[in-house]
């Protein structure tokens, strides 16, 4: 049986129960840490945030608004829920794209109880009318509801209860200056180390009831791209393989075999990552090549290549973004089992990325 056939068979078996997708969703939620002391990694952010929350609790006042930035899957949503739990208050969750009109935001903010947490994911995608209303809500705890249209329109001020806004963004550079300046505490979340991911995996394995030894944890952590969400997802897929093909326990050989079936290599590259790398090296001689051309070569949208694949490939030192286009590094050639170009060919890359 081929690796593709094995992957399809495992997927079929893991979805055999009618409630499998719901079970998966509930398991995902169960793996989230509930308190700050349970949150693994991001020690500096945790220390800073604990001071902000402890001070607010002692003053019996809502803490300053919080902005969390970083790549997807690093725990921004979990931290927002933890903030609400530490404050002993409720949380309302929405996202930037859902707030198309100022009235959408006004309806949410006006229903907040005193001290409640409002979490806006992807806050950089909030519409301009909603953002302008948010300025006043964050600073003065007031929203201005516009009644009527044209010259006869009037603004009716509506007081809202003091609340704490927690904004999450994967692209903090897209936030406007006025919005960014209204956050009293900002934190940037970094990718996790392999050791931190191993701690995440052991915690998750305990919650899922999966026997996981140190070798299996190290194997999964090393292929998780520095991201706890990916680590937990791979753990569940390795669990499926272990239950179907092995004895249910996860050691290093089992984890390696399972991840090979699911097409995740030793660096954590998946099918699309490897397709981008292969096209850049084999079809275009290592580049430079434009983003649109590279996307066509792998039959994907340019936004998918730029936002999904490139961040990890650049961080891993496999490709470089230069003014002339994307360029494969010597490490990329070696990862594909090819001889990298000579020193003269890679000299422009060194200059561009210096």
Phi/psi at 87 (5° precision): -80, -10
Sheet containing strand 91-95, edge to edge, reads: 91-95, 117-121, 164-169, 66-70, 185-189
In terms of residues, how long is the chain? 354
Could you tell me if 67 and 184 are in contact, meaning their C-beta atoms sit under 8 angstroms apart? no
Dihedral (Cα; 263, 268, 269, 270), 10-degree rounding? 40
Catalytic residue among 170, 227, 254, 329: 170
Question: In the annotation, is 304 catalytic?
Answer: no
Residue 171 sits at φ, ψ, to 5 deg, of: -140, 80
Catalytic residue among 182, 223, 229, 326: 229
Choose, from 76, 182, 223, 237, the residue flagged as catalytic: 76
229 among known catalytic residues: yes
76 is a catalytic site residue: yes
What is the rounded (10 degree) CA torsion for 54, 60, 65, 70? Answer: 20
Contact 250, 212 (CB under 8 A): yes
Q: Are 78 and 32 in contact (CB under 8 A)?
A: yes
Q: Which helix (H) or strand (E) holds 326?
A: strand 325-328
Is the separation of the CB atoms in 226 and 197 below 8 Å? yes
Is 77 marked active-site?
yes
CA 82 to CA 68: how far, in whole Å?
13
**Cα torsion for 22, 27, 32, 34, to the nearest 10°?**
90
Contact 163, 141 (CB under 8 A): yes
Task: Report phi then psi at 136, rounded to 5.
Answer: -70, -40
What is the Cβ-side half-sphere exposure of residue 214, based on CA atoms within 13 angstroms? 1
Q: Is 121 a catalytic residue?
A: yes
Q: Supply 312's token pair.
A: 């990890």
Show the tokens assigned to 180.
Answer: 């960014």
Active site residues: 76-77, 121, 170, 229
């Amino acid at each position: 049986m081929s690796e593709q056939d094995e992957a399809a068979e495992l997927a079929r078996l893991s979805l055999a129960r009618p409630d499998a997708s719901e079970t998966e969703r509930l398991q995902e939620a169960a793996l989230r840490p509930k308190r700050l002391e349970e949150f693994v990694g991001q020690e500096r952010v945790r220390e800073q945030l604990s001071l902000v929350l402890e001070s607010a609790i002692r003053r019996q006042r809502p803490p300053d608004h919080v902005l969390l930035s970083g790549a997807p899957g690093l725990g921004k949503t979990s931290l927002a829920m933890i903030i609400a739990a530490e404050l002993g208050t409720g949380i309302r969750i929405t996202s930037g794209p859902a707030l198309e009109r100022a009235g959408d935001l006004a309806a949410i903010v006006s229903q907040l109880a005193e001290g409640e947490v409002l979490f806006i994911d992807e806050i950089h995608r909030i519409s301009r009318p909603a953002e302008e209303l948010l300025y006043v809500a964050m600073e003065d705890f007031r929203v201005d509801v516009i009644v009527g249209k044209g010259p006869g329109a009037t603004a009716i001020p509506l007081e809202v209860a003091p609340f704490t806004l927690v904004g999450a963004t994967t692209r903090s550079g897209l936030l406007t200056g006025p919005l960014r300046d209204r956050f009293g505490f900002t934190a940037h979340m970094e990718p996790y180390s392999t050791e931190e991911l191993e701690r995440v995996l052991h915690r998750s394995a305990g919650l899922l009831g999966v026997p996981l030894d140190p070798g299996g944890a190290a194997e999964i952590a090393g292929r998780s791209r520095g991201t706890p969400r990916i680590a937990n997802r791979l753990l569940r897929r390795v669990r499926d393989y272990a239950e179907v093909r092995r004895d249910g326990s996860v050691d290093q050989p089992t984890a390696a075999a399972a991840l090979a079936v699911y097409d995740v290599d030793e660096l954590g590259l998946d099918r699309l990552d490897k397709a981008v790398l292969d096209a850049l090296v084999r079809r275009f001689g290592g580049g430079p090549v434009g983003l649109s051309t590279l996307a066509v070569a792998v039959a994907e949208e340019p936004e998918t290549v730029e936002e999904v694949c490139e961040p990890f490939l650049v961080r891993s030192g496999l490709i470089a973004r230069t003014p002339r286009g994307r360029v494969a590094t010597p490490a990329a050639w070696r990862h594909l089992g090819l001889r990298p170009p000579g020193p003269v060919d890679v000299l422009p890359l060194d200059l561009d990325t210096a």
